[in-house]
């Protein structure tokens, strides 16, 4: 009898401990989702060798592995729609190892990108990228990943203002890019002439843009780089007619207002049962060598290898912007509108060699001073293709097929 009582006490004690641990996990996850930065639902993918088949996988935590057998996923020269801004080999780059790095999550493997499978998923549908030139680079990457599987006569490209559409005709599928660098309306909305020194933003107006992506089946947003200044002019009224009032505000406040407008539009116009929505986190730049322990004068120019030692130091403002994004998206989820963050920030930080540097089309003639100092005109913002944005699309691919 005493043994049975002891066994019963042990059983109840074990049950209480299990309940306590389970409750603690729920509390931690709940707090993390509300206050943490980039805390996402883990995904169960193909397990890496030796890993548990039930443990969750964080696709955004991993390492870069050199792989010149299965990467790159396509050829720069064979991509019909490659952009001259991203075609580094075409414009003279000879060290091409930046094309051979594969992202390896710590606990699992990314599913291999299958163009035919994605085209079947997109049959009769629209995949729309919305944002700035970094989002456009990811769109070009996606087009290059897909178009090699499509006969020449079964694909097309068309531009109408801010909207550029790639069509896979056999699948009645479109992969589109819409230029809206600040998401909401601004004086930088022209897809060609947009490098204005004074940014003016209508932080509460998005319909001008949103009507072009309404009804899309998959939406991929980004907005970061064009906000990178201390102050922003927030406008109420018509920018074209110069009719209204504006106020100079702290950038973070304007960013918060714009994302709130964006979130309200999503809540009102997106059906979460049929549309997948993604937000691409901030793409790091490598303009200051001090960010990765090099000299202050150094940037991505002449870099040929990823960062393998030390840690990239991102700006504190970046963290504040990331927190605004996380808070906005958590608010949407609480209102039953799911947006999945694709966290490309940390994994891209180590790829200081992946930028075009001087190997790209120059849209304006270089000055004599620039020619004497190539580092002064190196592009350390955008990314060569094939390259880092292909991995962003592999992550996107994994989440598209997770539904």
Catalytic residues: 133, 379, 382
Record the tokens describing residue 369, joined without a space. 């001073």
What is the spatial distance between Cα 395 and Cα 393, in angstroms, rounded to a whole number? 5
- Contact between 116 and 51 under an 8 Å Cβ cutoff? The reply is no
What is the spatial distance between Cα 392 and Cα 60, in angstroms, rounded to a whole number? 10
Record the tokens describing residue 211, joined without a space. 């009507």
3-state secondary structure the chain: CHHHHHHHHHHHHHHHHHHHHHHHHHHHHHHHHHHCCCCCCCECCEECCCCCCCCCECCCCEEEEECCCCCCCCCCCCCCCCCCCCCCCCCCCCCCHHHHEEEEECCEECCCCCHHHHHHHCCCCEEEEEECHHHHHHHHHHHHHHHCCCCHHHEEEEEECCEEEEEEHHHCEEEEEEECCCCCEECCCCCCCCCCCCCEEECCCCHHHHCCCCCCCEEEECCCHHHCCCEEEEEEEECCCCEEEEEEEEHHHHHHHHHHHHHHHHHHHCCCCCCEEEEECCCCCCCCHHHHCCCCCCCCCCCCCCCCCCCCCCCHHHHHHHHHHHHHHHHHHHCCCCCEEECCHHHHHCCCCCCCECCCCCCCCCCHHHHHCHHHHCECCCCCCCCHHHHHHHHHHHHHCCC
What is the spatial distance between Cα 44 and Cα 57, in angstroms, rounded to a whole number? 5
């Amino acid at each position: 009898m005493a043994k049975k009582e002891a066994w019963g006490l042990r059983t109840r004690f074990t049950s209480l401990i299990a309940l306590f641990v389970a409750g603690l996990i729920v509390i931690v996850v709940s707090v993390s989702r509300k206050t943490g930065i980039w805390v996402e639902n883990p995904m169960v993918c193909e397990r890496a060798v030796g890993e548990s088949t039930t443990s969750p996988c964080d696709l955004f935590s991993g390492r870069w592995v050199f792989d010149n057998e299965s990467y790159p996923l396509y050829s720069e020269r064979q991509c019909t729609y490659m952009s001259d801004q991203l075609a580094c080999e075409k414009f003279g780059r000879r060290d091409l190892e930046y094309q051979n790095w594969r992202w390896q999550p710590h606990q699992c493997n990314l599913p291999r990108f299958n163009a035919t499978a994605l085209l079947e998923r997109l049959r009769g549908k629209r995949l729309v990228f919305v944002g700035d030139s970094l989002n456009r680079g990811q769109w070009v990457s996606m087009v290059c990943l897909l178009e090699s599987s499509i006969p020449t006569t079964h694909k097309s490209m068309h531009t109408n203002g801010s909207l550029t559409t790639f069509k896979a005709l056999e699948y009645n599928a479109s992969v589109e890019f819409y230029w809206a660098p600040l998401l909401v309306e601004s004086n930088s909305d022209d897809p060609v002439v947009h490098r204005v020194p004074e940014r003016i933003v209508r932080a509460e107006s998005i319909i001008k843009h949103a009507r072009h992506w309404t009804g899309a089946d998959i939406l991929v947003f980004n907005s970061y780089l064009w906000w990178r200044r201390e102050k922003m002019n927030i406008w109420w009224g018509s920018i074209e007619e110069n009719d209204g009032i504006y106020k100079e505000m702290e950038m973070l406040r304007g960013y918060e207002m714009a994302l709130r407008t964006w979130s309200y539009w999503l809540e009102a116009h997106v059906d979460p049962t049929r549309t997948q929505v993604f937000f691409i986190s901030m793409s790091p730049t490598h303009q200051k060598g001090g960010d990765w322990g090099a000299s202050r004068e150094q940037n991505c120019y002449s870099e040929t290898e990823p960062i393998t030692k030390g840690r990239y130091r991102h700006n504190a403002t970046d963290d504040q912007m990331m927190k605004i994004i996380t808070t906005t998206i958590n608010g949407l989820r609480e209102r039953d509108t799911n947006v999945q963050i694709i966290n490309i920030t940390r994994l891209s930080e180590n790829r200081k060699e992946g930028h075009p540097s001087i190997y790209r089309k120059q849209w304006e003639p270089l000055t004599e001073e620039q020619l004497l100092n190539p580092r002064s005109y190196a592009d350390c913002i955008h990314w060569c293709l094939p390259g880092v944005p292909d991995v962003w699309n592999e992550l996107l691919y994994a989440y598209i097929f997770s539904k």
